[in-house]
Structure 1
Amino acid sequence: MKRYLLSALTLTLLASLSHAADTAQSQPAAAAPRSGVDVQYIDAGVRAQDDFFAHLNGQWLKTTEIPADKSSWGSFAKLRDDTLPQLRAIVEAAQQAGQGGGAKAGAAAAEQQKIGDLYASYMDEKRLDALGAKPLAGEFSRIRALRDKKAIPALVAHLAQIGVAAPYAIYIGQDARASTRYAVYVSQSGLGMPDRDYYLDAKLAEVKAKYQLHVEKMLALAGGKRAGADAKAVVALETALAQVQWTKVENRDPVKRYNKVALAQLDALTPGYDLRGGMAAAGVAAKVDYVIASQPSYLGALQKIVEQTDLATWQAYFEWQLLRSYAPYLSSDFADAHFAFYGTTITGVTAQPPRWKRGVAAVEGALGEAVGKLYVARHFPAERKARMETLVRNLMLAYRQSIDTLDWMSPETKREAQAKLAKFTPKIGYPSKWRDYGALAIARGELVGNMMRAADFGYKRQLNKLGMPVDREEWGMTPQTVNAYYSSTMNEIVFPASILQPPFFDAGADDAVNYGAIGAVIGHEISHGFDDKGSQSDGDGNLRDWWGAQDRKNFAAKADALVRQYSRYSPLPGYQVNGELTLGENIADNSGLAVAYKAYRLSLGGQDAPVIDGLSGDQRFYMGFGQVWRSKMREPQQIVQIKSDPHAPGQFRANGTVVNQPGFYDAFDVKEGDKMYLAPERRVIIW
């Protein structure tokens, strides 16, 4: 195949043909299939064989500015931003409908009333400015009433119920070794910056210094008399916590994170700190006889930190965490200071999003599925779900066939892999059962109270799961979320309605670009069931080693090669991609695209794909994948991603994946000497 190049002449010709078709007065011909490739963004000055990402997205990269209220911009962010006006229309309609006051009859009307009242509470900035920090007065009093560090476990339990971070988190989830029941997990928490490295990495010392000034400012705004000294003590305390916390890479190991501890043995885990009493105060001790400690060494070290830190510092720490959690819902001085650090210093954003966007986000956080129900009714056609179901079936078929042909997996392990794949549950668009918000009280004019009640509602909803059958109809994302996920304990793949739009899914485009885009997303999520973490769970969602020893060794060798490949990438001077942290996502990208390509070829039924816009089907397939990762990111946000995000930056998700795909070399005639060329023996091919 000739080397691919789309010239300016070709683009001009396509534009003139389009104009002629639009203006023709004769009987119109049948519409030609549309490629779905954003050819206007192609940079003909960069060869696909040298930098596929820059070639495909170069004009966009040159001409697009990141919006002032965004830390990054690209396919995901734009689609999310395009969805926000639709959500705004929903919540503002609910706000207008509730202006008359009084709950209307019917559950649906009651939910809309809550949506409208919560949004109205957020938008009443004049009232919030008049209140200042008063809505938190009761919580400040609770913290300041501490007279002994022995009361800290009960305070942590209370703060968990209202959504305030503490040195450890208590949450409910499926037991990773007994997935038919719920269990209580205790996990490290309580840092005010994105990752422990922000406290320990010398390159980020300036950010840490600004963080201390921010803590001081917030404590002073709340009336603190010794805000400077308290802020210094708080940052020192958080630094001590960071030093004993597990790294993001260590936390990727699901077996090491599963540490079952009987309630009666909790005292031995944290001698001197009444963690067992904290579980009782949290309401879980009466419902379980064990907890799962995610980082037991951290909990042991925490006990010593509690012992060595004076009570006044702990009080300042909890006041700060309360302010950090609720600043966006207080007066403008608190909200603006919160943005100045977390928006500008941490992510590089120069302007706050308009208040209506923040209001929509607050409503979604509290009443996400209530909004989602209205969103789906207005914006998610049934035919889109049906076509997605077909794509999922084709991807599952391609995986089944791929497993059978693997040369590195034994027959016994292949049978286990097929058994797991057969138990996958796909969820598309929206839940079959919507969440009931009847127990959540929302009142106009009580924003902080509303957000606290929403946090408490969510906490009690989780608490009530203990002792109950696992709800396999539950979703972990709302339908309006532009994302997708795989759950190892549920063994399910979930695709919310909002991601089923261009450039991920284009109902009017030829199948090639859809298989490269949403098909690769589907394949990506399926692959998580077989990545270095997901592969440690079986088809029922239980941690179990179902691999033969040699199979695991073969898989580990391929994984190690991916770690080395991605660790060579550097999006910023002095910062490398963490190949170990991003391993699971890199496995999923590479495996998902490989299987999506097989599914696409199967969908052709042995026929040749049409040439559209001068592009072959295989070219459109890989371009569909590459344009999904079109993105730009502010430098501070890029550092956040490198330190804390298990995903590689977009340009490496595109280029780093296609260089391992044999079909890419054929589609674009990539040869030795080209910058995108990787010798066959160095390509990592898993599926």
Structure 2
Amino acid sequence: MQAITIPKVLVSGILMVSGIYLTSCQSKSSESSQRDILAEVVDTTVSPKDDFFKYAVGTWLKQNPIPASESSWGIGSMVQEETYARLRGISEKSAKEPGSEGSNEQKIGDFWFTGMDSVSIEKQGINPVKADLDRIAAIKDIQGVLTEISLQHTYGIGSLFSPYIFQDEKNSEEQALHLYQGGLGLPDRDYYFNTDSRTINIRKEYKAHLQRMFKLLGNDEATATKNMNNVYALEETLAKNSRKIEDLRDPYKNYNKMDLVALDKLAPSLNFKDLFGQMKMPQVKSVIVGQPEFYTAVDKLLKTTPIDTWKAYLTWNFVSSFASELSSPFAKENFYFYRTVLRGVKEMKPRWKRVLDSEERYLGDALGQLFIKNYYSDKTKKRYEELVKNIFSTYKERIEKLDWMSDSTKTKALQKLATVVPKVSFPDKWKDFSTLSIKRDSYVQNIIRANQWWYLYEVNKIGKPVDKTEWGMTPQTYNAYYNPSNNEIVLPAAIFFIAGFTDEQLDDAIIYAYAGGSTIGHEITHGFDDQGRQFDEKGNLTDWWTKKDGDEYNKRAKGIIEQFDNYVVLDSMHVRGEATQGENIADLGGVVLGLEAFKKTEQYKSGKKINGFTPLQRFFLGYALAWMGHSRDEALANKIMTDVHAPGFLRVNGPVVNIDEFYEAFDIKPGDKMYVAPKKRVRIW
């Protein structure tokens, strides 16, 4: 369950690469005596004409099974392993030498100390949150329910609904409160209703999990069963009135701005003026409601649901939110359902990694300052800023040459592209944690205090101008994103790492593929995907396309929707083409941009082979490298149901079949499994 933490990014990017910093974009020698990552991972027993992904990275997949503590394993996991080691060193040093009171080192050190103090955690058991549970147990009426819901949101618990602070989509200069559907214990509304055997079993396991958690809290068998049934029924009603992930992609249908009078008419039982006051945001004068029908259903539930059911629901939400930081019975039960059942993970990560995951979530910028100081340089940052410029320049050329877009729309598209703000490697201004209190008293209490700090950090933005210098990711994060309301791409330092290889071992083909194509090109294309294209150069939701151009775009987008709808994974699960279209469009656009930029390099022009691969072949192999990895079946099924990204292997095989040069590179002909007729190839950018 999610509550207000960091700004919600409408279109988020990728999980990618790892390791040693890349320090050049120059082509390298064609000598094959040096190590070559592409040659090491390729599987020549598979034909690229049958399954390009398995050909490109199949040897690595065979030699690297998924660890018992993971739901998936890939090139992105490698950077995380290196990052873990580095952050552990920072944390252990800070615990021994915490520095002055209130410093980042003190906060990191004390957070680490309490997280690693498993003896105290076991001794404390449920005691760190007993007062909170007693408060919930004492609720007597619906006003008490609403008061507790408000309080839980300030703790970072997403009970009943999901508020978040983000730019007003139609006024990108101002921060606004958004109210979305939420309050579910299962990952998505479809888990409550799908009738396939896999999902039916997950529902059965979820109910058993609820029952066991109530028993851990001291309920007898009958009471635990009653509470389980009541909580599940309440969540099922919330799910029934929630939109599918496909329907959440339309920014217009999910934008319903209301003043407090209109909001109270929508759901009078919530008494929003008092609710917002208790949620510590009395300055709210208007709200953007994503799914009004959800709040109508909430209003009805508040009138008809017994108080005891609300108490059970709020107790469950509270304990579930902090179970992984409580004593081992709670942590293990939480892990069993949310990691083993849902994702197939066999065992917990070691405690030190779990603590680092939490530390990254709550103190990521504090860690980031020390991480960049120790492991990154301004010189490297400048090199990647140059690569960003090359990709942008290529996109400009591609737009200018489009044969399906009118000149008037091209002018606006080029204006938008010219105003995209690239944020590369790390921020110029770091978050200030001076008011965040971290102590050596209790791990759970540190988590709660951090949640409360982040909540107020976000709430205090309401109605204020947008700070466009802020980053929504830390530099040590192996991910990237495009934010349509800021019209910016954010590329953390770690996205440019590759594990175990020095710069001299990485030629331009690799760099332009996985850094230029699957990252930079991917993210900038998000500005023009099914969602991003509906925002103008200032980040405002507005229709800047002619009708004819919009229709032409939608026709091409329909092609990629149909392409991915036809992919079947596991037994009978189809990729959700509508839900994943934005990422699939960005993947295709990213490969095209990376390739066109690569064609300007000396390596491509020379045509010289490296380890038997032509420059063009190496580019496509380098792109596959960016998605090298595999997942457990449970995790794959979860991804299909909840994620707007297609599975990694289809993020390779899906876009490349639409690119003519791919056929040239690997001599793919009609009759080959990877062959798609030219007329059926999707062409957008």
For Structure 1 versus Structure 2, the TM-score category normalised by the shorter chain is over 0.9
Matched, 1:388 2:387: no
* TM-score, length basis structure 2: 0.92
Aligned to 1:307: 303
Contact 2:181 2:291 in 1 (8 A): yes
Name the amino acid aligned to 1:318: L
Name the amino acid aligned to 2:309: T
Name the % identity.
38
* Alpha-carbon spacing, 1:166–1:30, altered in 2? closer, same or farther (3 Å): closer
Name the amino acid aligned to 1:270: A
Matched, 1:538 2:536: yes
Q: Secondary structure of the equivalent of 1:155?
A: helix
Matched, 1:261 2:258: yes
1:376-411 per-residue CA deviation (whole Å, 9 max, x = no partner) reads 111123332122111100000001000000011100
Q: Secondary structure of the equivalent of 1:249?
A: helix
Matched, 1:212 2:210: no
Q: Aligned match of 1:564 in 562, 572, 575?
A: 562
Give the CA RMSD over aligned residues: 1.8
Q: Which structure would you say has the larger Rg?
A: 1
Aligned to 1:581: 579
Contact 1:486 1:525 in 2 (8 A): yes
Aligned to 1:196: 189
Deviates more, 1:219-228 or 1:297-306: 219-228
Matched, 1:148 2:141: yes
State the 1:419 CA deviation.
0.6
User: Which whole-Å CA distance do the structure 2 matches of 1:607 and 1:272 have between them?
Assistant: 68
State the 1:247 CA deviation.
0.7
State the 1:504 CA deviation.
12
Contact 1:384 1:507 in 2 (8 A): no
State the 1:251 CA deviation.
0.5
Aligned to 1:499: 495
Contact 1:504 1:518 in 2 (8 A): no
Aligned to 2:112: 119
Q: Secondary structure of the equivalent of 1:540?
A: coil
* Alpha-carbon spacing, 1:36–1:387, altered in 2? closer, same or farther (3 Å): farther
Q: Secondary structure of the equivalent of 1:684?
A: coil
Contact 1:186 1:293 in 2 (8 A): yes
Aligned to 1:136: 129
Matched, 1:350 2:346: yes
State the 1:195 CA deviation.
1.1
Aligned to 2:412: 416
State the 1:30 CA deviation.
8.3
* Alpha-carbon spacing, 1:606–1:446, altered in 2? closer, same or farther (3 Å): closer
Residue segments in structure 2 that go unaligned for 5+ positions in a row? 1-27
Matched, 1:238 2:235: yes
Contact 1:503 1:628 in 2 (8 A): no
User: Which whole-Å CA distance do the structure 2 matches of 1:312 and 1:348 have between them?
Assistant: 34
Contact 1:36 1:513 in 2 (8 A): no
Aligned to 2:160: 167
Contact 2:215 2:224 in 1 (8 A): yes
Structure 1 runs (4+) deviating above 6 angstroms are: 503-506
Name the amino acid aligned to 1:517: Y
Contact 1:42 1:55 in 2 (8 A): yes
State the 1:354 CA deviation.
0.4
Deviates more, 1:343-352 or 1:136-145: 136-145
Q: Secondary structure of the equivalent of 1:172?
A: strand
* TM-score, length basis structure 1: 0.92
State the 1:46 CA deviation.
1.4
Contact 1:123 1:359 in 2 (8 A): yes
Q: Aligned match of 1:659 in 638, 653, 657?
A: 657
User: Which whole-Å CA distance do the structure 2 matches of 1:73 and 1:464 have between them?
Assistant: 39
User: Which whole-Å CA distance do the structure 1 matches of 2:187 and 2:228 have between them?
Assistant: 18
The number of equivalent residue pairs is 651
Deviates more, 1:84-93 or 1:39-48: 39-48
Contact 2:509 2:603 in 1 (8 A): no
User: Which whole-Å CA distance do the structure 1 matches of 2:235 and 2:473 have between them?
Assistant: 30
Deviates more, 1:166-175 or 1:534-543: 166-175
State the 1:343 CA deviation.
1.4
User: Which whole-Å CA distance do the structure 2 matches of 1:432 and 1:504 have between them?
Assistant: 29
Contact 2:114 2:442 in 1 (8 A): yes
After TM superposition, the structure 1 = structure 2 runs for residues 24-39 of structure 1, keeping only pairs within 5 Å, are: 32=31, 36-39=36-39
Name the amino acid aligned to 1:684: V
Contact 1:153 1:277 in 2 (8 A): no
After TM superposition, the structure 1 = structure 2 runs for residues 419-498 of structure 1, keeping only pairs within 5 Å, are: 419-498=415-494
Name the amino acid aligned to 1:543: L
Name the amino acid aligned to 2:156: G
* Alpha-carbon spacing, 1:354–1:219, altered in 2? closer, same or farther (3 Å): same
User: Which whole-Å CA distance do the structure 2 matches of 1:131 and 1:193 have between them?
Assistant: 28
Contact 1:37 1:624 in 2 (8 A): no
Deviates more, 1:207-216 or 1:313-322: 207-216
User: Which whole-Å CA distance do the structure 2 matches of 1:344 and 1:576 have between them?
Assistant: 23
Contact 2:30 2:609 in 1 (8 A): no
1:333-357 per-residue CA deviation (whole Å, 9 max, x = no partner) reads 1111111111111111001000100
User: Which whole-Å CA distance do the structure 2 matches of 1:570 and 1:506 have between them?
Assistant: 38
Contact 2:409 2:549 in 1 (8 A): yes
